[in-house]
A = this chain, B = another copy of it.
Amino acid sequence: MEKQLSLQAQLELMPKRFLSHISLDCVIFGYSDSQLKVLLLKVGPDEYMLPGGFVEKTEGLQEAAKRTLRERTGLKNVFLKQFYTFGEQLRNFPEAVEVMLKNKGLEVPSEHWILQRFISIGYYALVRLNQFQPVPDNLSLSIGWHCVDDLPRLLMDHQEIIKKAQLCFREKQKQCPTVAFLLPEKFTMPELQRAYENVVGSKVERSRFQKTMLATKYFERLKEKRLGVPHRQPYLYHFIESF
């Protein structure tokens, strides 16, 4: 039903449907070509942003984050973690919202609900990039993966939100190497190590890495080996943790 409403009608319904002053932003991480990527919406000729949304009046926060992901990117059933809430006074960006709306031919009065101050709760999601075909919503021109080390121009404080998500994701790895959620379901230890080092930002000695990972009990060695590679064929592993 939602999709049949015009954007203008959706805007008008917002104050009725959502809690005021509270938004969500989702940093969706993927991994390919040995690089950590983030999924961004293109909302203007040269303007990008994180998929974000609001909290329905009768909906929990985590539920709202899941719905936002689904509505804005098509993404379902992924690891999703709250990491930080952004609430500085200077993160008020009515101009950025107006830019975005104008790109869609929309205008709102200056006292409109959507132009008020928002405190935004940040979530990060971990995605097996090759298993998911992102779908942009009708507020966006397109959707696509961008290398975290080479981001385009982002609206509002979304660059800062990505940096913080990266930091929180990194800090969690020693405790539970959730970086494995970015890899295919079966992977070798060297493949895990490459992704881990990329996320953590430092090198680990190979045999020590394998020992540490296996000690976490999060990995199961499969009977299969990686075929078609030169030298000794490495065993495949599986990440036991679920979400």
Residues on A lying within 8 angstroms of B by beta carbon are 19-22, 55, 57-64, 82, 84-90, 117, 119, 121, 171, 174-175
A62 — which chain B residues lie within 8 A by C-beta? 87-88
Chain B residue at smallest Cβ distance from A19: B21
B57→A85 contact, CB < 8 A: no
Chain B residue at smallest Cβ distance from A172: B171
> In the complex, which of the residues B63, B64, B119, B121 contacts A55, with contact meaning CB atoms closer than 8 Å?
B119
22 A-B pairs with CB atoms under 8 Å apart are A19-B21, A19-B119, A20-B21, A21-B21, A22-B22, A22-B87, A55-B87, A57-B117, A59-B89, A60-B87, A60-B89, A61-B87, A61-B88, A62-B87, A62-B88, A64-B87, A82-B84, A82-B85, A85-B121, A87-B121, A171-B175, A174-B174
Chain B residue at smallest Cβ distance from A90: B60
A85 — which chain B residues lie within 8 A by C-beta? 61, 82, 85, 121
A117→B84 contact, CB < 8 A: no
A19 — which chain B residues lie within 8 A by C-beta? 21, 117, 119
Interchain nearest-CB distance for A21 vs B (Å): 5
Determine the distance from Cα of A87 to Cα of B117 in the docked complex, in whole angstroms: 18
A60 — which chain B residues lie within 8 A by C-beta? 87-90
> What are the 3 closest A-B residue pairs judged by CB atoms, nearest first?
A61-B87, A60-B88, A85-B85
Chain B residue at smallest Cβ distance from A63: B89
Chain B residue at smallest Cβ distance from A59: B89
Determine the distance from Cα of A82 to Cα of B62 in the docked complex, in whole angstroms: 18
Determine the distance from Cα of A57 to Cα of B21 in the docked complex, in whole angstroms: 10
A20 — which chain B residues lie within 8 A by C-beta? 20-21
B22→A119 contact, CB < 8 A: yes
> In the complex, which of the residues B61, B90, B175 contacts A119, with contact meaning CB atoms closer than 8 Å?
B61
Chain B residue at smallest Cβ distance from A20: B20
Determine the distance from Cα of A123 to Cα of B19 in the docked complex, in whole angstroms: 22
A171 — which chain B residues lie within 8 A by C-beta? 175
Chain B residue at smallest Cβ distance from A85: B85
